[in-house]
Chains A and B, each alone.
Chain A
């Protein structure tokens, strides 16, 4: 295993390249490092040595060193890239851009893989990866990475980016809220009435199967038609996006509400009623806590799904980070694409982590009583 990962590490070295957008010229590692300065090269070297350690001998100390090394190496690679970019910019036209090449990205991905393995061995799960981004974050804050085209793009689009990010988060929250308000009661009702279950699940399943872009689009017709009658209703924009997002979010929430409530052992309920708890009290004090972990798990899936769907909704004019992605795609501005796509992924993964933590807490709070 170690050998396999080791060879993977060696590969990116051979493809380290920095492209120059307008002429698309690749620049390889050694040349870049030469231009970037010896500090970066030294950090990179140290980082790599540390990273290799847990591969050879996975002790706790080695894993910590590996995490540190990964953070160092990633930051150093980025820093070296910025340093080289700075150099290149000095001797070229002001409209030229230097961006990180495929090799660097692959290098980063492999390092993250190694780091996540080290984090797993340390039993911190994925949260253990966060410290790896520490050095990189520091560099970002200090502005050292500014010469890279990605950050120049960000600097240029600063306000638009911020607005898009906010809009994206609003879309997600705006979908989750109503979905919970509709979905949970629906789930509770469906859990009690088999007839409702038989109708609700196939319908919701059908909606889930329809690809998001199709659902967004299918809503345009009726809604714009409605817009001719009722002023203010439009087929495109935030509202239709929210409607579709809510519809998509319903299935996981309803399903998990039902599953969670189904999972409450019958004897527990009978005991509770036998002790004199009213149906409402029983529900609040027994059913809800026991079903909560399952519901939270469903909420996690819903939220992560919503982040992705919100990106697609940019196509029908709902804004959000997807707008940046598609703007980049249509204009062939690849840095813009990365500027939009990376935050979406980061947002999705962060949401996933957040909810996993919440679920773990709720399970712990029950002391193992829940599934």
Chain B
């Protein structure tokens, strides 16, 4: 659990973080989102003491971080930056093993953990274990960066715009990986981004930052349905809010189970686990207003209608 208590960070005349009080629950993915220069990266760096507050306290698991030696603190957390920040003169394996080595793990344990992580991040150990960072693609480098951050089993993972430099496809892949890893390890993730779609897709909760202040803190659904101000609304995006909202519920939630489809809907059924936005997209592509729904085994279980989609509050 991470707690900010009236934290302010000033450089001379400029206030990067202004009287922020915020509690990050254990096990959640909290996304800090804001425009460039809004102070979100500073907030992140206050957690691992890459920066120290001018006023206020930051507590991790009820301990004031100011009382912990910075190096000790950071070795307990994972830190991922854009591009990965991999050390170019070390192999992938050596990079990943950095924090375990700092903590004094024995060689065998480190070697085993490296293989574990390469597997976790879906990297081909055979080809990449002894490769150097310059030999890897951007996406691979970022995966190694995440692996490196997870090496010592941290309970907190800090990520500073990690996927900003990647193409959309790779970005989506890696977002999926983070969700999976989060589900498997249950660590607390604090994620900084300026991309609203990324925030909405990853977050348990979102904190919208502007000029050093938190202007809204809530679930993605809260942000979409009850934006705290026009500014937040604009940030979330007004033109396609409805489409975004459709992403938050699944077909299973809106299907008509008793309905049997007619012939026009029979051909391409849609899985009940897909979000409503996928259903809408399919309807647009096929030019129809209803789709057959199937379950995980492929058995038809009902229909979904366009009218049901639009009925959302």
A and B touch in the complex (CB under 8 A): no
B residues with a Cβ closer than 8 A to A are: none
Residue ranges of A at the interface with B (Cβ–Cβ < 8 Å): none
